[in-house]
Amino acid sequence: MSDAKTQIDETVKANDVVLFMKGTKDMPQCGFSSRVAGVLNYMGIDFADVNVLADDELRQGIKDYSDWPTIPQLYIKGEFVGGCDIITEMTLSGELDTMFETNGVSFDKEAADRIREANA
- Strand order in 48-51's β-sheet? 48-51, 17-21, 73-76, 79-82
Residues in Cβ contact with 76 at an 8 Å cutoff, skipping those fewer than 6 apart: 16, 17, 99, 100, 103, 105
Per the annotation, binding residues are 30
Collapsing DSSP to helix, strand or coil, 91 comes out as helix
Q: Would you tell me the crossing angle of helices 109-118 and 95-102 to the nearest 10 degrees?
A: 170
Per the annotation, binding residues for [2Fe-2S] cluster are 30
